[in-house]
Amino acid sequence: MRSLSEIKGFGPKRLSALEARGIRDVRDLVERLPVGYMDTTHPLSPAQMTDGTQACFEGFVIGKPSLQRARGMQWVSATIGDELGKIRCMWFNQSWMRDRLFDTQHVVLYGRAVRKKNGLFVINPTIEEAGRITPVYAQVPGVGQKPLRDAVRLLLDEYDLPDPLPASFSARYGLMDRREALREAHFPTDLDALARAKNTLAFEELMLYQFAVAGAGGERRQAQPMDIDPEWIDEFCASLPFAPTDAQRRVIGEVVQDLRSSRAMARMVQGDVGCGKTLIAFCALYLCVRCGMQGALMAPTEILAGQHMQSAIQTLAPLGVTCGLLTGKMTAAERRRAHEAIESGEWRVVIGTHALISEGVNFQRLGLVITDEQHRFGVRQRTMLEGKGGSPHVMVMSATPIPRSLSLVLYGDLDLSTVDELPPGRTPVRTRIVPEEKRQGLYDFIRAQAAQGRQAYVVCPLVGEDDVPDAEQRSASQKLQELTRALAPLRVGMVHGRMKKAEKEDTLALFYAGQLDVLVATTVIEVGVNVPNATVMVIEGADRFGLAQLHQLRGRVGRGAQESWCFLMAEPNERLRTLVSTNDGFAIAQKDLELRGAGEFFGTRQHGAPQVPALMLSGDARLVARAREAFLEVSRDPAYGEERRALVRAGEEKYARSGRTFARN
């Protein structure tokens, strides 16, 4: 195959831009699938375009387009209609569109409809040709969509890598030939062929991912087995102010079985918000200390680490366990003292942030490592912490309920424990869908809650004005200005992912301390903050989030004794009604999987989650179960020995190319 530099128009600047996006050769480019498609095979009538619809529509230009100017901006405005209805289109900073369009002209357009105060509009639609399905690639600065499409079309003719899956699977699972699947994934002949191509490539990717993980975990490292006395578990449970649930006791039993083994524990404990995973972690840490070892618990934020420290003092200190906290904000003297206490073994349990993996932190005898909010830590970070103790047991926790089939595929290198029961007495968060016309009533409710000393979150899907294609979808910065005026004199603050870490944590600390009444935020508050006094969660543009993510955000409230509320700002639909009807995170996650597909489940919101790009395109949730079934068949059947070894090699090579490595345990 030719190199990218041999493609016409791909000079040093474009090649550099592609490399910055991880596209270094022909294979990278051909296997980088589109992020979406413009389907012009069945254009809608302008009358069928509704708020939020992104689609192809056709009609006739009604009257002469006009060029308008206001507030330093200019735009072309035209009405497109047919016998069923019409819609207004606006092209900003494209004055040439006025000469491109004329009265009675038939046009095929593609764009998203948005509702503004004076009606429904389509902003900057593109003129298309009917009858095509055109790929849309992730933006590469300096490289337009057309050069990318032309290059991929050219290279597909030359691309010929062998199919890594056993030939017998193609017929059984309805898979395409790999080369045909790639061609249809980029330039589909029709929607059915596109669906088959997506499923073929996603199935292959799920298989290779599982075998890459299996290859890494096949030789799980040895660890020091712990001689745990069953009476110690009873001691721990007896010291609690409440009895553990059956689910907690079951998972503690699974953890204890791992700790007693010379094969290092690598267990993921997942459960809904409030199910009591932290209690399981503290029990494991207590047993570790009773066996003469140290334990470490790493949290993703300083606030969460501090909260874990407070809980540890309440839970472990009465049992004689000395706990210490290590964070990045400590003074040099405090850090030196902490390092000494860790190395000498004075601190039996150490709780901290990424500071735990920093240079100079040495444990006396580290036997157990626990990471909270597992997906926030990369493999490298967890491995560094494990390396602090020679060969400790490892437990990871996640408050993101994931359907079991998906967990087994994406986290196949970890044994899985699920805490599927909530402690009694927990008050469910009351959830309501709030349309735009009731916004003022919502603000009055927030004021009433603040008057009682309560606090509220307002979550926005966007950050800055550059990200907002529609003024109706207010960014966090715009929302801060709006709420500061609308809720005066309430104290309103803001956090988002683009802020410096210290600034973000300082603002969260103010909110935690009750010095802010309302916190405007993006999804950075999805995990890592626990404010029992917060009783109201408002989610702007709720229809833009997945159900599982909405449930995670809802879990930020309802952590105290007071009744709590979650308000979804959107028009009612089936997805949002599911959230109103249940507080069961696993039921919600399963519904999300069914409605949005396996790939959407992780999406961009899960920073550090396993990267399975082809899966992102497949909407077939059943694919996960089929890929797991196929993996187990190849893994267990001796007849597949040759194929198994080839799949492990192919999987490791694929993810090594993408920068994802699987550290062998």
Q: What is the 3-state secondary structure (H, E, C) of 614-643?
A: HHHHCCCCHHHHHHHHHHHHHHHCHHHHHH
Please check whether residue 46 is in contact with residue 84, taking contact to mean a CB–CB distance below 8 angstroms. Answer: yes
Given the structure tokens 């207590």, which residue do they identify? Answer: 286
Q: pLDDT for 35-74, tens place per residue?
A: 888 999 999 999 999 988 889 999 999 999 999 998 888 9
Backbone angles phi, psi at 475, to 5 degrees: -75, 170
> Which residue reads 């500071």 in tokens?
355
Specify the pTM.
Answer: 0.70
On the CB side of 259, CA atoms within 13 Å amount to 30
What is residue 614's predicted lDDT score, i.e. its pLDDT? 56
Instruction: Tell the CATH topology of 430-582.
Output: Rossmann fold (3.40.50)
DSSP state of 439: H
> Residues 316-335: what's their mean pLDDT?
93
Class of 42-127 in CATH? mainly beta
| Domain residue extents for the chain | 42-127, 230-260+275-398, 430-582
CA 648 – CA 654 distance, rounded (Å): 10
| 3 state SS of 268 | strand
Rounded Cα gap, residues 454 and 349, in angstroms: 34
Q: With contact defined as beta carbons under 8 Å apart, do 68 and 81 qualify?
A: no
Q: What's the Rg (C-alpha) of the chain? A: 27
- Strand duo 106-116 + 126-127: pairing: antiparallel
Let me know: does 614 contact 604? Beta carbons within 8 Å. Answer: no
Distance from C-alpha of 223 to C-alpha of 265, rounded to nearest angstrom: 8
Q: What tens digit of pLDDT does each residue of 512-539 get?
A: 899 999 999 887 665 556 788 999 999 9
d(CA 539, CA 556): 12
Per-residue pLDDT tens digits for 248-294: 999 999 999 999 999 888 888 988 878 889 999 999 999 999 999 99
Q: What's the one-letter identity of residue 477?
A: S
Residues with Cβ within 8 Å of 349's Cβ and at least 6 positions away in sequence, in order, are 285, 289, 294, 295, 296, 297, 312, 316, 321, 322, 323, 324
Topology alike, domains 230-260+275-398 and 430-582: yes
Burial 449-480 (b: 16+ CB within 10 A, else e): bbeeebbbbbbbbbbeeeebebeebbbbbbbb
Q: Over 70: is that where the pLDDT of 665 sits?
A: no
Q: Would you give the distance in Å from CA 412 to the centre of its chain?
A: 18
pLDDT of residue 466: 42
- The answer to whether the CB of 226 falls within 8 A of the CB of 259 is yes
Spatial neighbors of 278 by CB under 8 A, at least 6 apart, are: 308, 311, 372, 397
Cα angle 465-556-590, degrees, rounded to a multiple of 5: 95
Measured between alpha carbons, how far is 216 from 207 in angstroms, rounded to an integer?
A: 14
Annotation: CATH topology of 230-260+275-398: Rossmann fold (3.40.50)
Nearest to 527 by CA among 277, 338, 282: 277
Q: What is the pLDDT of residue 607?
A: 37
Residue 662: the pLDDT is 52
* 291, two tokens: 């066996």
**pLDDT grade, residue 104 (50/70/90)?**
very high
